Amino acid sequence: MKKEKDRFLSGFLIGIILITLISFNACGSTGYQQSVKVVSPNKKAKITVTLNSEDQPVYSVRYNGKEVLSKSTLGIEFQEQGLLSSGLDIVGVERSSRNETYNIVAGKSDSAQSHYNEAEITFREKSSPERRLKIMFRAFDDGIALKYKIPEQPEIENFNIITEKTTFTFPANHKVWIADYGSYNTNQESEFDETVLDSIKKEDIIGLPITVQREDGTLLAITEANLKNYAGMYLGAGDQKYALTTKLAPLPDSSGVLVSGETPFETPWRTIMLGEDPGDLITSNIVLNLSDPSKIEDTSWIEPGKVIFPWWPDFKTDDPATSGKLNYENQKIYIDFASAHNIKYLEMEPPWYGPERDVIDNPLDYDITQPIPELNFFELIEYAKKRDVRFIIWMHWKALKNQMDEALATYEKWGAAGIKVDFMNRDDQEMVDFYHEVAETAARHNLLVYYHGAYKPAGLRRTWPNVLTREAVLGLEYNKWSDRITPEHNVTLPFTRMLIGPMDYTPGGFNNVTEEQFSASNSDPMVMGTRVHQLAMFVVYESPLQMVADYPGAIENQPGSDFIKKVPASWDETKYLKGEIGNYIAMARRNGERWFLGAMTDWTTREIGIPLTFLSSGKYEAVMYKDGKEAAENPGQVEIINKEVDSEDQLNVTLAPGGGTAIYFKPLGN
C-alpha cells in the first residue's frame, strides 16, 4: 500500500509540474501573464494592458463599466535604434499604490489629494538585441495616465526619438472640442471647435486638451502632465477608425528629431481625465498630481492677486494730457486705481524699455534692465510701494535668455514682484527646457512668473509654484483687432482649455456692447456681451494672477466696480454647479469664509435655478449682480440686489443674451 501511495503521490506531483510548465509556456517564456489590469481606488476606472497579434503593447480603458478607450497601441521609434514597439514580451510587473494630500500655493483649491494604483510593466524584445522598455500606468478615480521609461541598457545609451506611437482609440464617433493650430510654431490661441472624431485628419495638429463627450454624457479630456526635457504633445488622426495618434513638436534644427536624450529616461505622462459630468473634470487636480512636487521650500513670498493691465486699453486715462502715453503721470493713475481697488500688481508692458514693435522684432537690440527716461522708473517704483502695488515686468523671451541672470537679479533689487515672458510660440524640447530654466532662476530671486505666447499648462506650477499663470488662450486682447471673442467662446473655455490649468484671459472689459454694435478697436476696445458676463469671469476663470483689463475711468464708480474690488484671485475650494459645453456655465468658489458665484451664457437668454447647497450652515448676505432688464439692448446695464440666504435656498436668475450673474456671499455676523 505504501508503494502504491508513493507511486500515486509521485504521479500527482509530476502532473502538477507538467500543468505548471504548460501554464508557464502559455503565459510566454517569461512566466508573466500577457494581460495586466490596473484599477482605480474607487473601482470606476480600469486599465487593461495586453499584447496584440504583433506582440505590441496595447491598452484599453473602462469607466463605470463602459469601454471609453478601445485597444490603443504604444511604442517609441528611435532614429538610430529603430522601432521599439512590437515583438515584445512582458517580463516584469511592479505594483504600487499611493494616497497623499499636499498643499497648493494658488489655484482652484488650497490642497489636492493624489490617490492612485499603479503598475510599472517591463517589456523586452523576444529576439536580439532584446531591448527593454518600461511603461507605467496609473489609475486615479478621476482619470488614468501612462508614461514611458527607457532603462539604461547597452543597446540604447544616447538616442533621438523620431516618433511616439501612443494612440487613443475610441469605440464610436464621439463629439469632440478641438483647437487645430495647423503648426507647431504656435501661441496656442484659438477657438475650441465642436466636431466629431472622424472629422480629424492625419495632417491636423490638434492642441491639448481635447474634450470628448460620449453619447451617454461621460466626458474625457486628453492632455499631458509633468512636461520636462521633452517635446510638447499634439494629436492627429490615427490609422484606425476613431483613433487619434500622438504628434510631437520637432526640434527647430529641421533634423526631424523630436526628442534627444540618454538613458535612463522618462517621458511626460499621457493623461486622460474622466468624469460623469463636466464638474468632475473642472475640479480635477490630476495634472498637478502627476507632476513633480514643489522645489521651493518657503513659498510664503508667492502671493496671488489681481493685476491692472494698462496695455489693453492702450494706456488710456480720462486726462488728455496723459492718455495713451506710457510715462510717469500715466502710470500713477493706474497705480492709484489699483491701490483703491484691492489690485496687488501693475503690469509694466512695452514700451517700458523700448518701442513696442521694435523690442518684439529686434529683441536683442535692447537692454531689459534700462527703463525709458519718461517713466522716472525708480521714482515710480517708490510711488507704487507706498500704495502697496508692485510691478510685474514684461520682456521678450529672447532678451530674457540673453540677460537672464543679470536681469532677474536686477528686478529683485528693484523690488519687482515678477516677470511676464512673451512670444515663445513653441514647445519643442529646447523651449520646454527654457520654461524650466526661467521658473527656477526666477524662484532664486523671489520672482513670480507668467508666460505669454506660451504653450498649455502641464504641471510646471506644482514643481515651481512661483509660476502662477500663463496665456495659451484666445483671450480678450483679441478684441483690439478681431471679433473672435464671443460669448459662445467664453462659455466653451471652462470645459476645454481651463481644465488643465490657469489661463490669462484678461477679463474686466466695461465697454459692453451687443454683437451688432461691436467693432474692433486698439485704443478703445469693446467686449461682446453684458457687464455681468465680464464680472462672472473673475469667478469662473482660474488665474492666480487675474488681470483687470479696462482703464480706470471705465471701471471706477461704475456698477460692478465694487465686485472687482472684493473678488480674490485664488481659491480654497471650487464647486461646479451646472452647465453645457459652449452654452452656459455656473460655478461657485470659496476663499476663506466668503463664497463667490459666477454664471455665464452664450447669446441665448436663459433662466437657471442655482441651489445654494455649497454654502456652510448659517445665514449669508448675498450681493447679486444681475443683467438689467434692458441688458439685451444695453449690455452695460447692471441690477444689484442684496438678499439674505442660506444653504437651503435656491436662486433663480435670468441671464440676458451674452449675459451672466455674479454673486458675493458674506456670512452674516462677520
Same domain flag for 156 and 105: yes
Average pLDDT over residues 528-534: 98
Instruction: Specify the pLDDT at position 17.
Output: 38
Same domain flag for 207 and 173: yes
Instruction: Tell me whether residue 577 is in a domain.
Output: no
Is residue 231 left, alpha or beta, with left meaning phi > 0 and alpha meaning psi from -120 to 50?
Answer: beta
Instruction: Tell me whether residue 642 is in a domain.
Output: no
Instruction: Specify the pLDDT at position 635.
Output: 98
Question: Which domain covers residue 12, as residue numbers?
Answer: 1-31
Terminal Cα distance for the chain, rounded? 91
Q: Which residue has the cell 504628434?
A: 247
Mean pLDDT computed over every residue of the chain: 95
Instruction: Give the whole-number percent of the chain exceeding pLDDT 70.
Output: 95
Confidence of residue 33 (pLDDT cuts 50, 70, 90): low
Instruction: Give the whole-number percent of the chain exceeding pLDDT 90.
Output: 94
Per-residue pLDDT tens digits for 272-302: 999 999 999 999 999 999 999 999 999 999 9
Instruction: Specify the pLDDT at position 75.
Output: 98
Assess contact for 267 and 458: CB atoms under 8 A. Answer: no
Same domain flag for 250 and 108: yes
The Cα–Cα gap between 521 and 93 comes to: 60
Q: Provide the CATH number for the domain around residue 533.
A: 3.20.20.70
Whether residue 8 is predicted with pLDDT greater than 50 in this model: the reply is no
Instruction: Specify the pLDDT at position 670.
Output: 62
Q: Which of 560, 610, 567, 564 is nearest to 590 (CA)?
A: 567
Instruction: Tell me whether residue 27 is in a domain.
Output: yes
Whether residue 18 is predicted with pLDDT greater than 70 in this model: the reply is no
Per-residue pLDDT tens digits for 461-490: 999 999 999 999 999 999 999 999 999 999
Q: How many structural domains comprise the chain?
A: 3
Whether residue 34 is predicted with pLDDT greater than 90 in this model: the reply is no
Q: Which of 539, 659, 531 is nearest to 597 (CA)?
A: 539
Same domain flag for 351 and 232: no
Edge to edge, what strands does the sheet with 76-78 contain?
Answer: 82-84, 76-78, 158-164, 259-262
Same domain flag for 20 and 73: no
Instruction: Specify the pLDDT at position 4.
Output: 45
Q: Which residues contact 383 (CB under 8 A, 6 or more apart)?
A: 332, 335
Is residue 130 left, alpha or beta, with left meaning phi > 0 and alpha meaning psi from -120 to 50?
Answer: left
Same domain flag for 208 and 313: no
Average pLDDT over residues 439-453: 98
The Cα–Cα gap between 105 and 151 comes to: 34
Element (DSSP H or E) covering residue 244: strand 243-248
Same domain flag for 139 and 282: yes
Final residue belonging to a domain, choices 289, 323, 346: 289
Per-residue pLDDT tens digits for 121-130: 999 999 999 9
Average pLDDT over residues 528-554: 98
Per-residue pLDDT tens digits for 39-77: 999 999 999 999 999 999 999 999 999 999 999 999 999
Same domain flag for 313 and 458: yes
Instruction: Tell me whether residue 231 is in a domain.
Output: yes
Instruction: Specify the pLDDT at position 291.
Output: 98
Same domain flag for 378 and 252: no
Instruction: Specify the pLDDT at position 669.
Output: 79
Whether residue 20 is predicted with pLDDT greater than 70 in this model: the reply is no
Query: 548 - beta bridge partners?
Result: 308
Average pLDDT over residues 521-548: 98
Instruction: Tell me whether residue 629 is in a domain.
Output: no
Whether residue 9 is predicted with pLDDT greater than 80 in this model: the reply is no
Instruction: Tell me whether residue 612 is in a domain.
Output: no
Q: Which of 50, 280, 60, 246 is nearest to 161 (CA)?
A: 246
Instruction: Specify the pLDDT at position 149.
Output: 98
Instruction: Specify the pLDDT at position 13.
Output: 44
Whether residue 618 is predicted with pLDDT greater than 60 in this model: the reply is yes
For residue 163 the three cell numbers come to 516618433
Parallel/antiparallel/unpaired status of strands 418-422 and 390-396: parallel
Final residue belonging to a domain, choices 552, 571, 590: 571
Same domain flag for 47 and 163: yes
Same domain flag for 332 and 222: no
Q: Provide the CATH number for the domain around residue 183.
A: 2.70.98.10
> Counting beta carbons within 10 angstroms of the beta carbon of residue 660, is it exposed (0 to 12), middle (13 to 18) or buried (19 or more)?
buried
| φ and ψ of 278, to 5 deg | -60, -30
Same domain flag for 224 and 206: yes
